[in-house]
Structure 1
Amino acid sequence: MSAASGATKPCADCLRGYRLEGGPKGKMEELDGVSYYLAEGPKGDKERAIVLASDLFGFGLPNTKLVADWFAENTGLSVFVPDLFEGDYIDTSVIQSQLDAVEEPMKEKTFFGRIAAKAGFIWAILRYIGPEWLRRHSPARAKYLTVKLSTSLKEKLGYQRLGLVGYCFGGSIAVWLAAADSPIDVSVCFHPSRLTLQDFEAIRKPFMLVCAEEDMSFDGMKPFALAALDKVRSKHSIPVQVWDDNAGTTHGFGCRPNMKRADVRESYEKSNARTKAWFEEHL
């Protein structure tokens, strides 16, 4: 789905609510009307920074802030996380039974178990999230907020280069802002939501894609996206890296990993390390 297409429905795994341990170390601030979480980098670098585009939960779960803290500490760069949902977050407590039903990969469920999990997901979307919430927080609106903050970081705060890492809902933003007409210079996308082939064909910035082993939201598009990225690399000489070796993972593992599973924990940790290395090389 393109940025102009309006609201998109999250897949079942978008609603998984695994929480990372610990408490956020940063602070909330505002720039040009956009509220954001700031994880300050210890290096004090005022020329380079990272923007993080969150998943569907936004600041409704602590994970987004904790991931930002990790990147700030390990890259030395400040990380800015725009509030894509403008204070209006999904209440995970009201969909806990649906979250429990989709905690494990679908391939580990019986046929009827898969049907029950998906049916429960649809019911939860209709009753507890609803079309009005999805309309208020469309991909187009989230993209606008990310672009506005990123532009202000360059024009008002003087940053010269910006890297973007996006997850799920924010992963789509990471693809869109890897296009030529963007304030972002380097992009990393974790398991994006629905996109079009044209979205991938438009990439013109160094781009890294991190795939889940099983992804209800992206698996149908993946072969076409990978072919498009090969063309971007060969035809336009754009640095492109794809990681598709994340055992045990489903859509959402990059920001909501089930750390009780050793394979998921390993995939989560190596993906963070690879993202750090990508920014060190290209940002």
Structure 2
Amino acid sequence: MSVSCENCTKGYILPGEPEGQELQVAGLTAYFRPAPSTETSKSRAIILLTDVFGLPLKNCKIMADNFSKRLGCDVWVPDMFNAPGRPTLGVDDLTGIMPDKAGSGGISFMNKLRLVGLMLPAIPKFYANRASVVDARVTNFMKQIQEEKKYEKVGAVGYCFGASVGIRLGSKGLFNSVVLAHPGGTSVEEIRAITIPASWACAEEDMSFGPALRKASEEVFAARKGKPDYVDYEFVDYAGTVHGFAARPNLEIPEVKESFERAFEQTVAWFDKTL
């Protein structure tokens, strides 16, 4: 079966069509969904930091639209890869390779070989989008929109690659609150540096954010209780899920669809609480 066949991909694409617009900000293309009402457009805003599939996967735009409607605020989705139409990975690249749900036995030997074959040509793209480069892009993006919009509070929600960015920038004074869904590569040291309220949406099976790192991360925040550096936090685990469920779920699997929807509601509730 072809990796790009319709039956392989249709479950991962959210229904609907984007309602916002693409703008140029700080040299980056960004998807922008304005607040439903001008009365609330300046009080708070959300920055959505995508997974490696970037803007070409319309899921991030659909989610931005829905966050804007539910939270009554502007939502921005910057192209962190600075490559319109050419993200680090294509939207279909991992289809048929990565598992859809927990308990499926992980990645088969043949799929591991396919994954290696996929990643090797992408090494230059990953290097071009290394942490120092991407963090600088997002920082410049944030400075420019704040110069123009002057939002009172800004929240960031990151998925996979974007959650790793959110962790690193969670100590830089750019955001007032953050939601982190199944982060990509990170470390306890980076997590310990976070200085803002943080909500975590964790997959049951996650090669990037496994049980040991997930446990150590919560211990970092719990250890701050009663201390001056304490910030509000929560960790929510979603049974039956794998890395990517909150951004690119297989909607044909009922428990995955339910977890995706619950993670969305978790994000809305967190920003209503902290922004």
Q: Using structure 2 for the length normalisation, give the TM-score.
A: 0.88
Counterpart position of 1:32: 26
Partner of 2:130: 138
Residue identity opposite 1:208 in structure 2: S
Instruction: For residue 242 of structure 2, give the secondary structure of its aligned residue in structure 1.
Output: coil
SS of 1:50 mapped into structure 2? strand
Alignment of 1:1-283 (within 5 A): 18-44=12-38, 45-86=41-82, 87=84, 88-89=86-87, 90-93=89-92, 95=93, 98-105=94-101, 107-109=103-105, 114-127=108-121, 130-179=122-171, 181-219=172-210, 220-235=212-227, 236-244=229-237, 246-283=238-275
CA–CA distance in 1 between the matches of 2:90 and 2:221? 36
Aligned partners of 2:236, 2:182: CA distance in 1, in Å? 11
Give the secondary structure class of the aligned counterpart of 1:171. Answer: helix
Q: Which has the higher contact order (CA 8 A, sep 6+)?
A: 1
Partners of 1:211 and 1:106 lie apart in 2 by 12
Q: CA deviation at 1:194?
A: 1.1
Measure, in 2, the Cα distance between the counterparts of 1:234 and 1:257: 38
**Shift in Å, 1:68:** 0.7
* Letter in structure 1 aligned against 2:13: R
What are the Cα deviations for residues 121-168 of structure 1, in whole angstroms up to 9, with x where unaligned? 1121114xx211111122222222222122222222211210000000
RMSD (Å), alpha carbons: 1.9
Would the aligned equivalents of 2:49 and 2:163 in 1 still touch at CA under 8 Å? yes
CA distance in 1, matches of 2:234, 2:18: 30
8 Å contact from structure 1 (residues 101, 117) kept in 2: yes
Kept in 2, the 8 Å contact 1:177–1:187? The answer is no
Percentage identity across paired residues of the two chains: 29
Contact kept, 8 Å, 2:221 with 2:230, in 1: the verdict is no
| SS of aligned partner of 2:239 | coil
Shift, 1:34, TM fit: 2.7
Quote how far apart the aligned CAs of 1:239 are.
Answer: 0.5
The answer to whether the 8 Å contact 2:205/2:243 transfers is yes
Call closer, same or farther: CA 1:276–1:92 in 2, change over 3 Å.
closer
Contact 1:164 1:187 (C-alpha < 8 Å) held by counterparts = yes
Which one has a larger percent strand, Structure 1 or Structure 2?
A: 2
Give the TM-score normalised by the residue count of structure 1. Answer: 0.85
Find the aligned partners of 2:131 and 2:184 in 1 and give their Cα distance: 10
> How has the CA–CA distance of structure 1 residues 92 and 153 changed in structure 2, closer, same or farther, with 3 Å as cutoff?
closer
Aligned equivalents of 1:271, 1:200: Cα separation in 2: 20
1:106 positional shift: 6.1
Would you tell me which structure has more helix in proportion to its own residues? 1
**Other structure's SS at 1:211 match:** strand
2:4 matched residue in structure 1: none
Runs (5+) with no aligned partner, structure 1? 1-16
What is the identity, as a one-letter code, of the residue corresponding to 1:42?
P
CA contact (8 A) 2:102 2:204 kept: no
Hey, what's the Cα distance between the residues in 2 that align with 1:104 and 1:232? Answer: 35
TM superposition shift of 1:222: 1.6
